[in-house]
Amino acid sequence: MAVPAKPHTPRWLKATHRVFLGVFFNYAVVVSAATALAFVGAAIGRTPIAHSLMWTMLAGFFVYFLLLLWAFIERKAWRLWAVFSVATGVSIWTVSRLGGDPTFGFG
């Protein structure tokens, strides 16, 4: 009995998918995580939210770069989708629980 052939995905579609994940979804992950960490930092410390947000956004540039590299290094795209989706979901949930705007001004 012959094994059915796996459908072939064009290389340009795989590359476009990685660029989409690495640039756009990565941006959503970093912005939501930085906002959530700023709220957490302001909630547990004596730092004003503006200072917490400034420091988490500065750290976000570094994290964005690392996640962008990982988006092209990782062999399984489902891992990227899983990690990015969970991180964004947890960040949005944290922001909404701490009194922030979970739509980040877009709703």
Please state the domain extents for the chain.
18-97
**Residue type for position 85:** S
Q: What is the pLDDT of residue 105?
A: 58
Residues 36-64 have a mean pLDDT of 86
Of residues 53 and 25, more confidence is placed in: 25
- Write phi, then psi, for 32 (nearest 5 degrees): -70, -40
What is the pLDDT, as a whole number, of residue 102?
A: 66
User: Tokens at residue 17, please?
Assistant: 């998918």
Q: What is the pTM of this model?
A: 0.77
